[in-house]
Amino acid sequence: MTESAHSAPHSELDLENRLIKFLHIKTHDHDTSLRDLHPADFADQFEELTKDQREEFLSTSPELISPEILAELEDEVVEDILPLLSHDQIAEALTELDNDDATQIFEEIETQQREEILEALEPTDRAKLEASLAFDDETIGRLMQREFVAAPPFWTVGDTIDHMRATGEDLPDLFYNIWVIDTKFHPLGFIPVSRLMRMPRATTLREMMNDQIITIAQDMDQEEAAYIFEKYHLISAPVLDSDGRISGIMTVDDIIDIIQDENKEDMLALAGVTDAGLTDTALSTVKSRAPWLFINLLTAIVASLVIARFDYTIQEIVQLAILMPIVASMGGNAGTQALAVVVRSLAERDLTPQTTWRAIRREAVAAAINGLVFAVALAFIAYIWFGRFDIAQVAFIAMVINHFFAGLAGILVPLGLKKLGQDPAVSSSVFVTTVTDVVGFLAFLGFAALMLL
């Protein structure tokens, strides 16, 4: 913003100062205007405010939340602030935004408000919103954009460009491909915009279109669609309804959000965090972690029951109590390593029938080798520490066995869960660590009871 902007009326300056104070904008010159911020930057700053600060901000200057900023804010924040905006402002945002962004915002509106806001919309906008909301969460039908550019194959480059110049406002803000369709909206091919623009005006779309068209289905899970985009390096893809007609498109910027969500979900699920949402408060944090801690308590008790079977052995040879956590911990880590690699491979679709057997063999061999190496190490340490060769021997055997089981559990558990239709990221950890704890304690204390007493 240049000096001239300072001639704005006093009240507006006041407003800006208030906002700058609120938003903690650190700037070297005082000319920085909030209105010049990129919506994504504004949203980032706004999200850093506490709930009280946000409310204070909105009570004085709700008009600063433009539709673009609303589209950039995290769902949780949108849910918080929507009740503080007027119905008119919300309806205006829903009208102005592309349909996919509008749907995401609409989802956060409380049920009793929805009807009123829907009535404030133009019939076409309302119809598009309702069509999207008819699909399940995390399916493409819900996420796709219903505005796209399509043309019949007999049009020329010139026809197409002229048509777009004439249509203007009604086209999506940005698009990357022209979809060539037949009279029933079935896709025949596509033409990247950068290609269309380079061709002579007289060329027909049919002559220049690429018919190796990759499509996605509107009832497809978002993860599946993200995989297709990634594999084929797509920027946008048409979404087909059950009759094979184009009903919308997906674009790569939404796909990146999906990829990040899915990655976050997998990573947190492996660590036993149930809800991958933004857990801002201590209470929601407790809720998202307690379930897994509860399951872990149960499995730890199972492992303790194994130890309890050998209480007499431990009382006789207390060194066993000192070494047994090492055996269990090493197995747990080896299992977790295998598990993380397998879950990641499954997410990347690297495990096909051909490669699965190779992967199982690889994990078994690797577990056996690492098991042997670290069994030797622990046996050596045990011998040095306690001066007893028999204890060293027991530690060696238990380590080899537990590593082998850990490696196998690390790959067979997620594969098995996947086969049963479960998400391997969510439920594998608990099975794998239970296996390594139980096998670790059982092998170590069991062989000790057999060989040492």
Question: Within 13 Å of residue 340, how many CA atoms lie on the same side as its CB?
Answer: 11
* Interaction of residue 282 with its own copies, rule CB under 8 A: yes
Local structure of 209: helix, strand or coil: coil
Nearest one of 396, 408, 394 to 436, comparing CA atoms: 408
Question: Residue 288 burial (CB < 10 Å; 0-12/13-18/19+)?
Answer: middle
Residue 344 has which token pair?
């990641």
CA–CA distances in Å: residue 118 to residues 68, 71, 101: 19, 18, 15
Report the length, in residues, of the chain.
453
Which range, of 4-12, 13-21, 86-94, 275-283, touches its own copies by CB under 8 A? 275-283
Answer for the pair 71, 101: CB distance below 8 angstroms, yes or no: yes
d(CA 392, CA 402): 15
* Interaction of residue 210 with its own copies, rule CB under 8 A: no
The site string for its own copies over 110-149 (x = CB under 8 A, - otherwise) reads ---------------------------------------x
218 or 370: whose CB is closer to its own copies? 370
39: amino acid identity, one letter:
P
What's the min distance (Å) between Cβ of 157 and its own copies? 10
Applying CB under 8 A, which of residues 8, 13, 127, 286 lies at the interface with its own copies? 286
Tell me which residue has tokens 């269309």: 196
Nearest one of 51, 27, 48, 50 to 37, comparing CA atoms: 27
62: amino acid identity, one letter:
P
Applying CB under 8 A, which of residues 8, 13, 202, 373 lies at the interface with its own copies? 373
292: amino acid identity, one letter:
W
* Interaction of residue 340 with its own copies, rule CB under 8 A: yes
Q: Give the H/E segment covering residue 173.
A: none
d(CA 121, CA 136): 23
The site string for its own copies over 5-24 (x = CB under 8 A, - otherwise) reads -------------------x
* Interaction of residue 100 with its own copies, rule CB under 8 A: no
* Interaction of residue 344 with its own copies, rule CB under 8 A: yes
What's the min distance (Å) between Cβ of 44 and its own copies? 8
374 or 405: whose CB is closer to its own copies? 374
428 DSSP assignment: H
15 or 377: whose CB is closer to its own copies? 377
120 or 430: whose CB is closer to its own copies? 430
What's the min distance (Å) between Cβ of 80 and its own copies? 15
340 or 392: whose CB is closer to its own copies? 340
d(CA 15, CA 323): 67
Residue 46 has which token pair?
């706004």
127 or 308: whose CB is closer to its own copies? 308
* Interaction of residue 388 with its own copies, rule CB under 8 A: no
* Interaction of residue 336 with its own copies, rule CB under 8 A: yes
Q: Which of residues 149-188 bind its own copies (CB under 8 A)?
A: 149, 161, 164-165, 167-168, 171-172, 174-176
